[in-house]
Amino acid sequence: MGFEFGALNWLAILASIIVGQVFLTVWFAVVFADPWAKAYGAADKAAHAKDIPGYTYGIGLICMILLSVGLALFQNALGIASIGGALASGLLIAICFCGATILPGYAFLRKIDAALIAAGSQMSVILVVSIILALWK
């Protein structure tokens, strides 16, 4: 098993980054906007959005780039090129890595509602990116 950057489909990675960013924006700004804001103690999504520093969006983009490139490397190394393979590997990564890294931090902060929303978003976006990368093989 080798990780070869030259063998990656960079258009698929770019598409994954764009779709992933749109997906997360809809997740946090539309679908779960009010519950997310309330989990952080804000009155509503407008009050919460006002408190978010601008640089956090840049950090989010960097994280999406890392996620897309990392998943592309793993899928390429494992030869995953089907939706079924993308779902199976994406689900494994989502549960094992995402759940293990998100839930403890939020548990220490005592923000279980935020933990569930964040874990759901990350696990879902991992599956979305996995599928895009596999389809564009």
Total domains in the chain come to: 1
Mean pLDDT of the chain: 89
21 falls within a domain: no
Question: How many angstroms separate the CA atoms of 12 and 23, rounded?
Answer: 16
Q: Is 0.85 topped by the overall pTM? A: yes
61 falls within a domain: yes
Choose among 135, 129, 134: nearest CA to 14. 129
Model confidence pLDDT, tens digit, residues 62-114: 999 999 999 999 999 999 989 999 999 999 999 998 878 887 877 787 888 88
107 falls within a domain: yes
56 falls within a domain: yes
Question: Residues 83, 135: contact at Cβ < 8 Å?
Answer: yes
Which structural domain, as residue segments, surrounds residue 49? 5-14+26-135
114 falls within a domain: yes
Integer angstrom CA distances of residue 18 from 36, 46, 127:
22, 24, 15
